[in-house]
Structure 1
Amino acid sequence: MNSTERSSEPKPFHTVLVANRGEIARRVIRTLRRLGIRSVVVYSDADASAPHVREADDAVRIGPAPASESYLDIDAVIAAARATGAQGIHPGYGFLSESVGLAEACAESGIVFIGPSTEALQIMGDKARAREHVVRSGVPVVPGFDARGLSDAEIAEEAGAVGFPLLVKPSAGGGGKGMEVVTGASSLASALASARRVAAAAFGDDALILERLIRRPRHIEVQVFGDSHGTVIALGERECTLQRRHQKVMEEAPSAGIPDATRQRLLDAAVLAAQSVSYVGAGTVEFLIDADAPDEVFFIEMNTRLQVEHPVTEEVTGLDLVELQLRVAAGLTLTPAPRLRGHAIEARIYAESPERGFLPSTGRVLLFEPPTGVRVDAAIETGSDVTGHYDPMIAKVIAVADDRPTALRQLDDALSRTVVLGVETNIAFLRRLCGDLRVVEGDLDTGLIDTLLPFAAEPASERMLAAARWHVLHEGTQTGRILSPVELAGRAGGTWSELTDPDARALAFVDDDDVVHDAAPSRVAPGIRAATDADGGVWVSADGRSLRLRPLDRRQRMLRRLAARDIAAAATEPEARAPMPGSVVAVHVADGAEVRAGDALVSIEAMKMEHLVVAPHDGAVHVLVATGDQVRRDQPVARVTTNPAHGATEESR
């Protein structure tokens, strides 16, 4: 599929609208530009200055920040395509990428939906229906059942027959959203309620399916492509086993050492599943195998779109999968699958804090420096705003080499050179994964990441403190200084081996965990970046790690010591606080109710992740928020008092 071999071919389209945002929109735009196809993007108010808007040939505003009022608005997307003369719509992944409604609207408007047929979307887009369909075609599946139309009592009965542990998951949608693991009958009801709530919010459909949970599963998927002439090919498999909360973190192609016979079964079953719906376009057939007995494969679902992890397949096949999508959508014929070369590994960089239980992080990106020598697909750039409206993935780093060990080392090196200041990221955790012995040896299962938790951040290093100190003394920390990235040696005008701090004053900093660090005069080290945010906090980055430090003067240190003494003598803080900025999606207790320590109080959702706020101790609860409220990080959402008479006043709301 080398583009130079088809230079004489006509362009499949002259204008394509990309109905998505972030890195996938930028990724599609790159291919459209290379092919000489005019690109049009849509954007919400939150993305008015986003990179994908600037990079496209044309851009159309389609609504306010919430995805439900913009990127998920089919009428607005179709109107934008009509207004700009787009012949085709590329949906990317997520949002409307598996929407039957969009595919039907395209057909009615004479616009090509760059994806499969509506029939394939209807069958494979519903996990329960897909399961029943592929079984009839001879594809093996995990034991389980469709819970649609069943009462909770009937579900409990069926669940008992299948056996615990079980995996509860939405029938619609994907990406791990709404999935719940149920270890026994006592926790089934709460898992069903949570899964339905997330499914309804994310996909507009709260139907569920339940499947037997394989104890040490490996998640392996096959990239398939089909054309309108009846040809279906498999472009190898991808290992997607390294996951957290059913969300992929690292992916690789080919998989990490499965038997050749199992690999062939995977490829054959994937082609069979795609052929069963006369599949056209890019699709991914996902399977589970048991890490301890990898001779069987079990179909779990088919994603009728391009996947986030498609770059690893591109790197080992030499194909541009977006170009391939455009070609088959235009009616062109597929050629045989190429031979795979080398090994590729991808790491997803999320705006989240592993140290705080992977809670999402929002803010302005003060500095983004991607590593050189590897492929980087990024949604952000310096100055981008990361909001709570969309998925927290901000970039992907992809390393490719002749063999797996070399690719893994190159990925770790690339991550060590990745700089993100202004929002917290999971880069340090990704490096931990790269160095984990089981990952290095390929001994993988989907529970591996859980064995590395909780993840404790390393304390601020001397070189990071030295950089923060130098930055404060030479750059200042005035409020409102949004962007001040500094490569310290370059600004100082000296060499690293010679540079010493001319100011002998010691400074102190406090990090976001409320730990105080002393920064004495010392030499600063190379490779560190620093920036000041709008609140005067100093962000520093080294070896892929970044942290935020707030300078403290002598008076502030004294006040902190006094406050710490008072807190130590006081009772447990009565407030239950929001761990992240987001929206209240459920209130689990009535105002004034008696609760026990650890009882569920409020559920907060941000970046498609739901977090439970629990009671800090026994007592009477006074609820401070309502469903639908937007909350800030650390905002009190409830107050639990040991004496009801001492509940919060109206002013504390």
Structure 2
Amino acid sequence: MFDTVLIANRGEIARRVIRTLRRLGIRSVAVYSDADATAPHVTEADEAVRIGPAEASRSYLDIDAIIAAARAAGAQAVHPGYGFLSENAAFGRACADAGIVFIGPGEQALDVMADKIRAREHVAARGVPIVPGFSAAGMDDDRIVEAAREAGFPLLIKPSAGGGGKGMHEVHSEDEVRDAVATARRVAKAAFGDDTLLFERLIQRPRHIEVQVLGDTYGTVVHLGERECTLQRRHQKVIEESPSPLIDAATRARLGEAACAAAASVAYTGAGTVEFIVSADKPDEFFFMEMNTRLQVEHPVTELVTGVDLVEQQLRIAAGEPLTLGEVALDGHAIEARVYAEAPSRGFLPATGFVLRWQSAEGVRTDAAVQTGSAVTTDYDPMIAKVIAHGDDRTQALARLDAALADTVLFGVESNIDFLRALLADPVVQAGDMNTGLIDRMPPFEDPEPSQAALDAAAHAMPVEKGDLWHSRSGWRMGADPVPPRARFETSRGTVVERASEASESKRHSDAAVVSTRCARSTTGGAATGEIWVHADGVTSVLTPLTRRQEMERRLAQRERESGASDPELHAPMPGAVVAVHVADGAAVKAGDKLVSIEAMKMEHPVTAPHDGILTLKVATGDQVRRDQIIARVTATE
């Protein structure tokens, strides 16, 4: 076994690998960019090496920098985690050339399975069923449109070299193809360095089923059951579970056999996942989608139901040990929820900020990338934690996961925790009758209104003004009991709420919130912003105290918006980089025209014209923008 291993990754997966290395007595080496200099994975490793600036292309994707770090630290092996260079054949070859063991599959598996087009052709030749489609490699836009027309709509566009749902688009008509191809190519090039695209038939009411496999250097390949990852948004997994409520024992055996055949066909070594798409209407019929030649984000649910540490198995296989698992049995049910730094009420746009408080729930497994004091930036993926619950059956696992999310505290950065709880409570999810379009069909999410317990806690957290009794907000009255001070707040929904004024009501809520309410003043560069973050009754609320003057100004502004036309000024919906300007400055535009595209956390968002008019641009391609920054103006024409 190795004595020193470098982890060529960051965030929660780096911390998760470090845990197993520490348990096995292996020295861990972390790498970090300038943006991650104080990140948890850096402080938890036995040694940490800087590899470059914040940009992933100049740090976590820099093969030379990582090889140099491994040599400098005396690492015998490199664990790539997932994402970044984990499925990069050139990185595997560079490790071999440097005399360093790559903890992953061999060159054949990386070469074949890293390209979706080649992988489809490879497994199809070995009898594994594939989704009908075509490769767009070498085609210009005209030929792609023609091929799409011949294949028939709807179709799903995928970056051939990609994963994680990045760059994937549905097209339902010929008119949508060109714009979707341009966006998919741009995202694929930025995320994977390869803009080759694959088109596949879009399966109706699809369910996403994947099989965990392990292969050793002696030709043994086994599977550890399936996971269901059907609950997705924009092709990005949100909830994963094992086993699938759709799959029976006979289908599980067939899926496992097909997955092992696909892995064995490339002499697979290490941990990998073979992904299939299954129609909800025909659960016994499945099609190969791709093979991920790495550990998956959702691997904890398999670990909880099998008792197998997949990272340990990766290490043992890479060190040349044979698989000795014996028969693998599934015990109970496990469900994982991905916590993203995003604002569900703003269309799930990425969020950034400093973590004022992070507190994970007890009694479940939480793999987190952050801790109190961490910075969440636009440089990397928005997933900041995973909460995983295990139960005797699916019903118990669901209940435990919901309770854990209710007890998870994240202040300072908007997240999807409240949305996750709403999703888990959906009757369709509770019944296990999902498909990948479920989230997209849900009504727009609105942040829950704060409870009176939250308002009471926020009122107590407001800074007390210094001065005489008239301004101290003490509630003091001569010859009578104090009256709780009046407190009104603006919520994240833009509504105004007021704390209950009766003393008895306030006292009751205050008592109820003693152990479940936590407040913190939000700061940026040390200056108070006025926001108060409160966790009460399982809900996190962001409350902004309002003075009488602010209330009046807010009412006047709202009245003007209701009576006036659409706002001519366009604001950045999220912090990020301007990756495309679609219309020239000074041009005439129509309502709905795409003007600018902003990218953050590997997600691209278009900004469109609110009405007809003349465009005035305030930004250019390559500019970094803040959330709500004015990026353009459309002056309405007469």
TM-score by length of 1: 0.91
Q: Quickly say closer, same or farther: Cα 1:212–1:502, change in 2 above 3 A.
A: farther
Query: Within the alignment, does 1:328 sit opposite 2:320 as a pair?
Result: no
The Cα offsets for residues 396-453 of structure 1, whole Å up to 9 and x where unpaired, read as 1111111111111111111111111111111111111211111111101101111223
Query: Within the alignment, does 1:108 sit opposite 2:97 as a pair?
Result: yes
Q: Deviation of residue 313 (structure 1)?
A: 0.4
For residues 414 and 491 of structure 2, the distance between their equivalents in structure 1, rounded to whole angstroms, comes to: 12
Q: Quickly say closer, same or farther: Cα 1:224–1:337, change in 2 above 3 A.
A: farther
For residues 332 and 52 of structure 1, the distance between their equivalents in structure 2, rounded to whole angstroms, comes to: 28
Q: 1:553 aligns with which of 542, 547, 554?
A: 547
For residues 554 and 154 of structure 1, the distance between their equivalents in structure 2, rounded to whole angstroms, comes to: 63
For residues 20 and 277 of structure 1, the distance between their equivalents in structure 2, rounded to whole angstroms, comes to: 25
Q: Indicate the residue corresponding to 1:211 in structure 2.
A: 200
Query: Within the alignment, does 1:505 sit opposite 2:485 as a pair?
Result: yes
Q: Quickly say closer, same or farther: Cα 1:147–1:544, change in 2 above 3 A.
A: farther
Q: Deviation of residue 261 (structure 1)?
A: 2.6
Q: Which moved more, 1:108-117 or 1:634-643?
A: 634-643
Q: Deviation of residue 259 (structure 1)?
A: 2.9
- SS of the residue 2:314 aligns to: helix
Q: Quickly say closer, same or farther: Cα 1:592–1:164, change in 2 above 3 A.
A: same
Query: Within the alignment, does 1:531 sit opposite 2:511 as a pair?
Result: no
Query: Within the alignment, does 1:541 sit opposite 2:535 as a pair?
Result: yes
- SS of the residue 2:611 aligns to: coil
Q: Indicate the residue corresponding to 2:333 in structure 1.
A: 343
Query: Within the alignment, does 1:439 sit opposite 2:419 as a pair?
Result: no
Q: Indicate the residue corresponding to 2:472 in structure 1.
A: none
For residues 81 and 341 of structure 2, the distance between their equivalents in structure 1, rounded to whole angstroms, comes to: 21
The Cα offsets for residues 52-105 of structure 1, whole Å up to 9 and x where unpaired, read as 000000000111111111111111100000000000000000111111121111
Residue identity over aligned pairs, in percent, reads: 64
For the Cα contact (< 8 Å) 2:246–2:283, is it kept in 1? no
Matches within 5 A, 1:373-452: 373-452=363-442
Q: Which moved more, 1:195-204 or 1:337-346?
A: 337-346
For the Cα contact (< 8 Å) 1:360–1:580, is it kept in 2? yes
The Cα offsets for residues 481-518 of structure 1, whole Å up to 9 and x where unpaired, read as xxxxxxxxxxxxxxxxxxxx955320221223432222
Q: C-alpha root-mean-square deviation of aligned residues, in Å?
A: 1.5
Q: Indicate the residue corresponding to 1:615 in structure 2.
A: 609
Paired residues in the alignment total 609
Query: Within the alignment, does 1:149 sit opposite 2:175 as a pair?
Result: no
What letter matches 1:358 in structure 2?
Answer: F
For residues 247 and 502 of structure 1, the distance between their equivalents in structure 2, rounded to whole angstroms, comes to: 53
Matches within 5 A, 1:569-608: 569-608=563-602
Q: 2:168 aligns with which of 165, 175, 179?
A: 179
Q: Quickly say closer, same or farther: Cα 1:404–1:513, change in 2 above 3 A.
A: closer
For residues 41 and 253 of structure 2, the distance between their equivalents in structure 1, rounded to whole angstroms, comes to: 39
Q: Indicate the residue corresponding to 1:26 in structure 2.
A: 15
Q: Indicate the residue corresponding to 2:635 in structure 1.
A: 641
- SS of the residue 2:237 aligns to: strand
TM-score by length of 2: 0.93
Q: 2:46 aligns with which of 13, 32, 57?
A: 57
Query: Within the alignment, does 1:130 sit opposite 2:110 as a pair?
Result: no
- SS of the residue 2:498 aligns to: strand
Q: Deviation of residue 319 (structure 1)?
A: 0.7
For residues 337 and 305 of structure 1, the distance between their equivalents in structure 2, rounded to whole angstroms, comes to: 22
For residues 45 and 520 of structure 1, the distance between their equivalents in structure 2, rounded to whole angstroms, comes to: 47
Q: Indicate the residue corresponding to 2:471 in structure 1.
A: none
For the Cα contact (< 8 Å) 2:389–2:400, is it kept in 1? yes
Q: Deviation of residue 555 (structure 1)?
A: 2.3
- SS of the residue 2:462 aligns to: helix
The Cα offsets for residues 252-284 of structure 1, whole Å up to 9 and x where unpaired, read as 011113233322221111000001000011110
For residues 46 and 452 of structure 1, the distance between their equivalents in structure 2, rounded to whole angstroms, comes to: 35
Q: Quickly say closer, same or farther: Cα 1:83–1:440, change in 2 above 3 A.
A: same
What letter matches 2:391 in structure 1?
Answer: A
For residues 104 and 443 of structure 1, the distance between their equivalents in structure 2, rounded to whole angstroms, comes to: 44
For the Cα contact (< 8 Å) 1:235–1:337, is it kept in 2? no
Q: Which moved more, 1:580-589 or 1:151-160?
A: 151-160
Q: Deviation of residue 108 (structure 1)?
A: 0.5
For the Cα contact (< 8 Å) 1:359–1:580, is it kept in 2? yes
For residues 448 and 271 of structure 2, the distance between their equivalents in structure 1, rounded to whole angstroms, comes to: 42
For residues 311 and 116 of structure 1, the distance between their equivalents in structure 2, rounded to whole angstroms, comes to: 20
Q: 1:256 aligns with which of 240, 245, 248?
A: 245
What letter matches 1:78 in structure 2?
Answer: I
What letter matches 2:540 in structure 1?
Answer: S
Q: Which moved more, 1:506-515 or 1:47-56?
A: 506-515
Q: Indicate the residue corresponding to 1:480 in structure 2.
A: none
Q: Quickly say closer, same or farther: Cα 1:419–1:100, change in 2 above 3 A.
A: same
